[in-house]
Structure 1
Amino acid sequence: MSKRKNWILSITGIVIVGLFLFPVYWMIITAFKTQNEVFQTPPTFFPQNFQLDSFLTVISGGVGQYFLNSVIIAGCATIVVLLLSVPSAYGLARFKVRGIGLMMLVFLVTQMLPATVVLTPLFVVFNNTGLLNTYVAPILATATLGVPFSVLLLRTFFMGIPKELEEAASIDGCGRLRAFLQVILPISLPSVLVCGAISFFFAWGDLIFSITFNRDQELWPLTAGIFNAIGRYGIEWNNLMAFATISVLPVIIIFVLLQKHLVEGLVSGSVK
């Protein structure tokens, strides 16, 4: 009976995963189809005439600049989030801070607010400081929403690390900062990488901040530049899907490389 239950659960899981991944599969195969095959009835589930013209069209259309902009914005936003959230989360986990309950509540509330709530205040601030039409505006905007999430997540992880590790390091002559850099960070590296990946994914998929704070299309990321893949007199679906495939490729690669850290224990093997 247990074996039958395992088979049912496995089949159910495969079906659910297939349903979630089918749109991604359809996007990719559409990018390799001709425009005529895209509208063919009945639809084909694999390209009959495998072609790369749509990718060449998109690449020659300036996707490289959009890709570079996305890398700059997402990469710098991730660095800002980690530089601010990692020491902040460690301090909130190790030291007694007055009003920490209210602070955590405020951080939690910020995660419930849509991006449009902070859009106008940030626009006013960036306009007064001369940061509009620069990379700095979307970087700071996405980091503003990423820092509270990372602090909430990392604080819980740091609280789970035994204090005995730091006490043992202090006996060996390590100060608080050295113990944090040489003992705590290596142990919590999987969690830090997960927060970095989530922050990168959030910044990579940002659209509203980039098009609001940057009127210059030369500074737009892939999410905003994808509109240029739409034809003037109609949507060229194979070109559009080629653009979308290029856009999600870095996310898929990063997720595959970091998937083991998503399930790896935070302090596994740290205390024997």
Structure 2
Amino acid sequence: MSRRKDFILNVVGIVIVVLFLFPVYWMIITAFKSQSEISQSPPTFFPENFQVESFVNVIQGGVGHYFLNSLIIAGSATILVIILSVPSAYALARFNIRGIKTILLIYLVTQMLPATVVLTPLFIVFNHLHLLNTYFAPILATATLGVPFSVLLLRTFFIGIPKELEEAATIDGCSRLRAFLQVIVPVSLPSILVCGAISFFFAWGDLIYSITFNRDQDLWPLTAGVFNAIGRYGIEWSSLMSFATISVIPVIVIFVALQKQLIEGLVSGSVK
């Protein structure tokens, strides 16, 4: 009975994975198809003749500039999220702060708000600060997506770390700051990597903030480039899918390279 149950669960798991990954697979194989093969019926599930002209056209069309902008925005936003969320989560986990439930509720509510709700207030603030048409506006805006999530996740992890670790470090002559940096942060590294990776994914996939706060297309990231390519290429789906394929490469690389740490950080709740 247990074998049959395991078999059914495995089959269900495989079906779910295939359903989620099929759009990605279709995007990639479409990028390698010719325009005539894309429009033929019935569709082919594997390219009959691989072609890379669409990738060459996209690269020559300036995808590298969009790629660099995405790296600057997503990388800077991720660093900012880590700098703000790690000490904030530690303070909320270790100190008796008055109104901590209200603070956590505010973090939770801000995480639930859609981008369209905060778009206009952020635009007004950035306009007064003269941050429009700069990298700073989308960096700060996308960081607001990662900070609440990271604080809530890291606070739960910090609560699970025994206070005896810090007390032992204090006895050895460490200050609270040094104990935090040399003891707590290394122990919490998997969870910090999770927060950093998810914050990077948030910032990398941003579109609405970038095109709203930056009218200068030279500052647009890859997502805005894909959006712009829809009207630029028209029905040239191979070029559009090539653009989209290039845009997801960093996400796939990060997930594959850090999958062990990401899984460990998500499921860890105590010190081993």
Matches within 5 A, 1:245-260: 245-260=245-260
What letter matches 2:126 in structure 1? F
Task: Say if 1:93 and 1:156, in contact at 8 Å, map to a contact too.
Answer: yes
Percent identity between the two aligned chains: 78
What letter matches 2:86 in structure 1? V
CA RMSD of aligned residues (A): 1.2
Task: Say if 2:93 and 2:159, in contact at 8 Å, map to a contact too.
Answer: yes
Cα deviation digits, residues 146-168 of structure 1 (max 9, x gap): 21111111111100100011111
Cα deviation digits, residues 222-258 of structure 1 (max 9, x gap): 0001133335573210100000000011001101112
Cα distance in 2 between the residues matched to 1:84 and 1:233: 41
- The aligned residue for residue 201 of structure 2 is 201
What letter matches 1:135 in structure 2? Y
Task: Say if 1:188 and 1:267, in contact at 8 Å, map to a contact too.
Answer: no
Cα distance change, pair 191–232 in 1 and its aligned pair in 2 (3 A): closer
- The aligned residue for residue 148 of structure 1 is 148
* Count of aligned residue pairs for this structure pair: 269
- The aligned residue for residue 129 of structure 2 is 129
Cα distance in 1 between the residues matched to 2:55 and 2:231: 15
Task: Say if 2:133 and 2:216, in contact at 8 Å, map to a contact too.
Answer: yes
TM-superposed deviation, 1:36: 0.3
- The aligned residue for residue 21 of structure 1 is 21
Cα distance change, pair 232–63 in 1 and its aligned pair in 2 (3 A): closer
Give unpaired runs (5+ residues) of structure 2. none
Cα deviation digits, residues 102-141 of structure 1 (max 9, x gap): 0101111111110111111111111111100000000001
Mean Cα displacement is larger for which, 244-253 or 229-238?
Answer: 229-238
SS of aligned partner of 1:50:
coil
Cα distance in 2 between the residues matched to 1:28 and 1:249: 11
Matches within 5 A, 1:56-95: 56-95=56-95
Cα distance change, pair 75–233 in 1 and its aligned pair in 2 (3 A): closer
Give unpaired runs (5+ residues) of structure 1. none
What letter matches 2:71 in structure 1? V
- The aligned residue for residue 107 of structure 1 is 107
What letter matches 1:87 in structure 2? P
Match status 1:220 vs 2:220: yes
TM-superposed deviation, 1:53: 0.4
Cα distance in 1 between the residues matched to 2:215 and 2:232: 21
